[in-house]
């Protein structure tokens, strides 16, 4: 009888030991293996990103300093409204014009305001700002100013142009009100 009872007791103890200790420990080990696998994947991605960054950085370093400055001037990585106004005023000064009534509009850098403008796979929006100013000029000088603005390195869109007709004694000078939008990377 003891010969028959002893295996049953040992079997019950082994089942109890499996249920109370071995199976929970095994489940913990499985979750740790899955977590280690996700960490390994993250490390592989980090190494791939580091290699990609190094490749892009070495490619970026092949650009001349002048070309890097031109690139930053075309699409800067921050808002520099003062520099923008100075650049526009310098363009106007080439034609003996002066900016007047300069107004900065709202700085928009949210994805909602300019959803069509997205950069890269992240879809981060390009920031933009409107600048409105007035010029007192002849039509020919104003056209020359617009052409120079068009050929400047800074990316600008002309949102609107308004004008008043010249007075009889104003030597053909009209007041032009221009609203432009410029952009920067975030």
Q: Where are the domains of the chain?
A: 1-62, 75-184
Mean pLDDT, residues 130-153:
88
Mean pLDDT, residues 8-21:
85
Tokens of 115: 């959803």
Q: State the angle between helix axes of 139-151 and 81-93 in degrees (0 to 180), rounded to the nearest 10.
A: 130
Bridge-partner residues for 135, per DSSP? 176
pLDDT at 51 over 60: yes
Question: How many whole angstroms separate alpha carbon 62 and alpha carbon 13?
Answer: 72
Mean pLDDT, residues 52-77:
83
Give the domain 75-184 fold.
Alpha-Beta Plaits (3.30.70)
Q: Is 96 left (phi over 0), alpha (psi -120 to 50) or beta?
A: left
Mean pLDDT, residues 85-114:
76
Q: Could you tell me the sign of the dihedral formed by the alpha carbons of 107, 109, 115, 121, in that order?
A: positive
The answer to whether the beta carbons of residues 163 and 174 sit under 8 Å apart is yes
């Amino acid at each position: 009888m003891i010969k028959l009872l002893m295996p049953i007791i040992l079997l019950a103890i082994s089942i109890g030991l499996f249920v109370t200790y071995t199976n929970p420990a095994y489940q913990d080990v499985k979750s740790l293996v899955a977590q280690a696998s996700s960490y390994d994947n993250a490390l592989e991605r980090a190494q791939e990103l580091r290699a990609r960054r190094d490749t892009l950085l070495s490619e970026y370093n092949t650009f001349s300093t002048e070309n890097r400055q031109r690139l930053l001037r075309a699409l800067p990585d921050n808002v520099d409204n003062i520099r923008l106004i100075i650049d526009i005023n310098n363009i106007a000064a080439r034609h003996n014009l002066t900016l007047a009534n300069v107004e900065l509009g709202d700085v928009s850098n949210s994805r909602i305001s300019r959803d069509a403008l997205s950069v890269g796979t992240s879809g981060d929006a390009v920031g933009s700002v409107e600048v409105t100013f007035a010029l007192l000029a002849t039509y020919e000088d104003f056209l020359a100013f617009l052409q120079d603005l068009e050929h400047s390195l800074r990316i600008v869109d002309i949102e609107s142009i308004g004008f008043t007709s010249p007075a009889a004694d104003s030597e053909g000078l009209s007041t032009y009100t221009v609203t432009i939008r410029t952009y920067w990377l975030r």
